Structure 1
Amino acid sequence: MSEHSPTASAVTALVEAATAAPSMHNAQPWRFRYAAATCTLELRPDPDRSMPRADPDDRALHLGCGAALFNLRVAAAHAGRHPQTALLPDPDDPQLLATVRLAATDRPSPGLAALYPAIPQRHTSRRPFADQDIPAELRDRLSGAARAEGAELAFPDPWHAAHLLDLVADAEGRDSLDPSRFEDVARWTRLGDASSPDGIPEYAFGPRKRDGAAPVRDFAGRRPGADRGSAAFEGVPHIALLGTAHDGRADWLRAGQAMERVLLLATLADLATAITSHALEWPDLRELVRDPTSAMGHVQILLRLGYGPPGPATPRRPVHEVLQIDT
């Protein structure tokens, strides 16, 4: 098959799929640049979309960019391309998070391409899930998806799960005592405004938690807003820890890709999904999140999985705002 550069519209479609990825508070902290001469997309962070209070080292920003990178790889495979990916390829350009060369191929990855239908279907759900077990076979497949991206996914035993919920409650309590901790949430949540192309709109907050143990963040806080109602959430939530052996920038990007691979596979398996970082936003609590008996070195994100209603679609920035094409 002869090498040729995809059209501008084809590149735009790939980046549109990439930007459907989750990110902390839906800040969408990514920028893409396409060089037609080399058929290569560059991924860089958007520093104006960082979280100085909740994510001072930009770890969560890297996870979001990693998730967008994985979506880009999936979309490229679906389009019949082989996405040749390099993380942090240039030591002299630390803002260059990754490059993806869109190589033509007769053999696009079927494993990646099969996940493509889940990209527009995956949405964070902040609604109650059923108190229903996730089959062991599905858990194994989800763990395998994380391993395929160089990360680990672990489902904690009941004791450790209860400990995790205590840590989330601890983080909530600390935040309530420090108003400055709410600054990032206030910036990226949209009370009564569904027109913004980023952030979390009020309709996606979900109901207030009346009962149950699910780690669901109340993004409204004490601010007045529309009556979202309340609901009883699951008493035994299914939480999974996604982590890496090390804790550098490349590890964060790998974790973001693994997170998205797990979420897309879960979506195709009819699981509702959500991500939570609340207990990880405090360095001392993050140390305690890890199971000391496991081989997982550093927990990067917590996932909440279960059978329940999918979340609503949240807005995305127009592609022309995040993509530059050099012809």
Structure 2
Amino acid sequence: MPTLALDAAALEKLVSAAVAAPSIHNTQPWRFRLEPATSTLEVRADRNRAVPAADPQGRAMHISVGAAVLNLRVAARHLGWAPEVRLLPDPAEPDLFASVELDTAASAPAPGSERLYGAIWRRHSSRAPFTDEAVPAVVLDELVTAAHAEGAGLHLPDHEESARLLRLTAEAERRNTTDEAQRTESRTWIRTGDAPPYGIPVGALGPQDVAGHVPMRDFSAIHAAEHQAPVLFEHEPRIAVLGTDHDTPTDWLRAGLALERLLLTATVHGVRASLLHQAMEWPNLRWETRDPRDRPGYVQMLIRLGYGPEGAPTPRLAARDVLEP
């Protein structure tokens, strides 16, 4: 049985797992603070790492922090706790996105938690081409179950609907490259040389699709010398649509929990993923990503799934850099 002492070593493991989560532009917009008297780890938004042009409502920030909370919960279970997560626990503190109580030992390991914990350190977004090998239906079903377990839904559109979603993503990417505020903001998160451990290294960006079929984000204002040569992507991308019934900050956080759980589950099965967030950044395009044949709801993320290179890791802040005294 692992120790349940919430000492410095355990705290570092918990926070290190949390910061391994994906975030928009790898902004890592989170801070953590331990309340020793109650063994509660508070998770706060770091507004200094906001991206107001791409995310004026803070929706993507909530999703990013929600993904970190999922990792924190998985790591806590790995260490032997039965963590209790509360989302937006104090209306008087809007930047307190979540609290995780760590004062109860788990009576038994949570099913599948060890696999998810191991996947935390291997999960990377892959911006490279995938093969044309189809993701098996049994794996896709498990991803749907993972999202549902966190209060979200995962829709697997057919070929026609996937093509429509890719066209909307392409239009959003076109806007991102022509809108001055978007272009300038995205460029600030590209990292070269001895840059701080957040943002996107140039080498992790990946190529563009020579056929223009899969609209990967190119961060708008990348200098020409930084572009990789375009290559041919998969012929028929497998797109998944992550959505929620409502569109409140709590729903955004739950979408982040669901996103990370399904990404970790995909990693367990060797499935790669990249996030197509561009259409989410334009309100009218985000609304159009809803499938009119499906029940009402709100799309929170488009996810591209498949088989291919693992993806290059992006830098992460150390636990000490995001822990408040």
TM-score of the pair, normalised by structure 1: 0.94
Q: Which residue identity lines up with residue 168 of structure 2 in the other structure? A: L
Structure 1 227/157 Cα, relative in aligned 2: closer, same or farther at 3 Å? closer
Q: Which residue identity lines up with residue 265 of structure 2 in the other structure? A: L
Matched position secondary structure for 1:208: coil
Residue 266 of structure 1: aligned partner: 266
- What are the within-5 Å matches in structure 2 for residues 103-142 of structure 1? 103-142=104-143
Residue 198 of structure 1: aligned partner: 198
Residue 185 of structure 2: aligned partner: 184
Distance in 1, Cα, partners of 2:265 & 2:122: 11
Residue 161 of structure 2: aligned partner: 160
Contact 1:73 1:112 in 2 (8 A): no
Quote how far apart the aligned CAs of 1:189 are: 1.1
Quote how far apart the aligned CAs of 1:110 are: 2.8
Matched position secondary structure for 2:129: coil
Quote how far apart the aligned CAs of 1:248 are: 0.3
Quote how far apart the aligned CAs of 1:162 are: 1.0
Q: Which residue identity lines up with residue 71 of structure 1 in the other structure? A: N
Mean alpha-carbon deviation: is it higher for 99-108 or for 59-68? 99-108
Matched position secondary structure for 2:96: coil
Matched position secondary structure for 1:293: coil
Residue 316 of structure 2: aligned partner: 316
Contact 2:187 2:222 in 1 (8 A): no
Matched position secondary structure for 2:83: strand
Distance in 1, Cα, partners of 2:155 & 2:208: 28
Residue 78 of structure 1: aligned partner: 78
Unaligned 5+ segments in structure 1 are none
Residue 9 of structure 1: aligned partner: 9
Residue 293 of structure 1: aligned partner: 293
Distance in 2, Cα, partners of 1:153 & 1:32: 29
Unaligned 5+ segments in structure 2 are none
Matched position secondary structure for 1:231: coil
Distance in 2, Cα, partners of 1:238 & 1:206: 18
Count of equivalent residues: 323
Matched position secondary structure for 1:242: strand
Q: Which residue identity lines up with residue 39 of structure 2 in the other structure? A: C
Distance in 2, Cα, partners of 1:141 & 1:212: 30
Q: Which residue identity lines up with residue 266 of structure 2 in the other structure? A: A
Residue 211 of structure 1: aligned partner: 211
Distance in 1, Cα, partners of 2:194 & 2:130: 25
Distance in 1, Cα, partners of 2:8 & 2:174: 49
Quote how far apart the aligned CAs of 1:220 are: 5.9
Contact 2:240 2:303 in 1 (8 A): yes
Deviations 1:260-305 (A, max 9, x none): 0000000010111111210110000000001011125000011111
Contact 1:5 1:39 in 2 (8 A): no
Contact 1:55 1:281 in 2 (8 A): yes
Matched position secondary structure for 1:32: strand
Q: Which residue identity lines up with residue 206 of structure 1 in the other structure? A: G
Distance in 1, Cα, partners of 2:222 & 2:65: 31
Identity in percent: 48
Quote how far apart the aligned CAs of 1:40 are: 0.7
Distance in 2, Cα, partners of 1:214 & 1:198: 26
Contact 1:244 1:296 in 2 (8 A): no
Deviations 1:186-238 (A, max 9, x none): 11112x32543000001101123222522311126452334522211112111
Q: Which residue identity lines up with residue 80 of structure 2 in the other structure? A: G
Contact 2:41 2:100 in 1 (8 A): yes
Matched position secondary structure for 1:15: helix
Distance in 1, Cα, partners of 2:58 & 2:275: 17
Matched position secondary structure for 1:250: helix
Residue 254 of structure 2: aligned partner: 254
Mean alpha-carbon deviation: is it higher for 222-231 or for 168-177? 222-231
Quote how far apart the aligned CAs of 1:321 are: 1.3
Matched position secondary structure for 1:236: coil
TM-score of the pair, normalised by structure 2: 0.95
Mean alpha-carbon deviation: is it higher for 36-45 or for 168-177? 168-177
Structure 1 310/4 Cα, relative in aligned 2: closer, same or farther at 3 Å? closer
Contact 1:243 1:296 in 2 (8 A): no
